[in-house]
Amino acid sequence: MPRLNAGTRHVVRFTLNGRPAAFEVEPRMLLTDALRHLLGATGTHVGCEHGVCGCCTVLIDGMPARACLTLAVQAEGCEIRTIEGLAPSPARLSILQAAFRRHHALQCGFCTAGILMSLEAFLATRPDPSAEELREVLSGHLCRCTGYAPMIAAALEAAAKLREDAVHV
């Protein structure tokens, strides 16, 4: 691991939602701050900055991670996915996103980005989840608006739809 100097800025190069990206940061800068304020990727939210709420969840090399507990310099060479990269095209929602809208699985939408990222990663490895498993996944996130039930319904529906689509390909 390279040694980084606390006082100086370091150029960090990585992939953000499939495109090359870079920022220049002090080693202490959090990934949340760098994504949001240096790159303008403000879809990743900060609810607690201590790793509990899950609002800041992004995918780092396919794995869900708390961006608030990740230093920006740790992004070096990684593939990072955020909420901004979820929709297939600007005017279309992904199957999971559309299911969330249909089931009113969001209200204020502040927790939503992190939850969608966790579910996206989970459904990729577990295409036929039970409601119980989804509850487990969601329990890594706090939502203060919805009471969670509509999210589980949405995720179940999205999983079914994704399986169907996979069969037809």
Residues lying near ligand FES in the complex (CB under 6 A): 46-49, 51-56, 66, 68, 106-112, 143-146
Stretch that binds other proteins, among 8-16, 27-35, 70-78, 158-166 (CB under 8 A): 27-35
Continuous H helices in 31-148: 31-33, 95-102, 112-125, 131-138
Neighbours of 4 (CB within 10 A): 16
Residue 124 CB, shortest distance to ligand FES, in Å, is 21
Distance, in Å, from the CA atom of 164 to the CA atom of 120, rounded to the nearest integer, reads: 16
| Contact flag: residue 84 with other proteins (CB under 8 A) | yes
The only residue of 9, 27, 76, 107 in contact with other proteins, by rule CB under 8 A: 107
Say which entry of other proteins, ligand FES, none residue 11 contacts (CB below 5 to 8 A, set by partner kind): none
Shortest approach of other proteins to residue 26 CB, angstroms? 8
Distance CA 152, CA 100 (A): 9
Selected from 60, 67, 80, 106, the binder of other proteins by CB under 8 A is 106
d(CA 96, CA 102): 10
Residue 43: phi, psi to the nearest 5? -70, -25
Kindly tell me which of 13 and 104 has the beta carbon lying closer to ligand FES: 104
Residue 31 site contact among other proteins, ligand FES, none (CB < 5 to 8 Å, cut-off depends on kind): none
CA separation for the pair 83, 97 (Å, rounded) = 10
Contact pick of 59, 86, 123, 162 for other proteins (by CB under 8 A): 86
Please give the biggest Cα pair distance in the chain: 55
Closer CB to ligand FES, 9 or 94, in the complex: 94
Is there binding between residue 71 and other proteins (CB under 8 A)?
no
6 DSSP β-pair partners:
none
